[in-house]
């Protein structure tokens, strides 16, 4: 197996499909979410999830790829 875990930085049906397929392959799935999405199906389906907020950023989380890609490094002690 190439990956042990996968950061799913998406929402809705696409995220659910990614999580389902990766889980079937034995890959741990990690979701990111904002407060409004805390009870969303993709957050519940993931093995682990990170609540993220960037209150000083004028752009929504999903538009800020750099910050999303930096998330694993902020939480490296929690990742496999």
- The verdict on pTM exceeding 0.75 is no
Q: What is the mean pLDDT of residues 68-79?
A: 63
Strands 48-51 and 28-33, how do they pair?
parallel
Q: Which two tokens stand for residue 2?
A: 């190439």
pLDDT digits 0-9 by tens, 33-64? 888 889 999 999 999 988 877 666 656 666 66
50-15-23 Cα angle (round to 5): 85
Average pLDDT value for the chain = 80
Identify the DSSP state of 59.
S
Residue-range domains of the chain with CATH: 5-78 (3.40.50.20)
């Amino acid at each position: 197996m190439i990956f042990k875990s996968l950061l799913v930085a998406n929402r809705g049906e696409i995220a659910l499909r990614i999580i389902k397929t990766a889980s079937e392959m034995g890959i741990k799935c990690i979701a990111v979410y904002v407060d409004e999405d805390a009870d969303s199906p993709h957050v519940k389906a993931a093995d682990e999830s990170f609540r993220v907020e960037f209150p000083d950023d004028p752009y929504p989380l999903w538009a800020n790829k750099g910050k999303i890609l930096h998330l694993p490094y902020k939480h490296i002690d929690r990742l496999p």
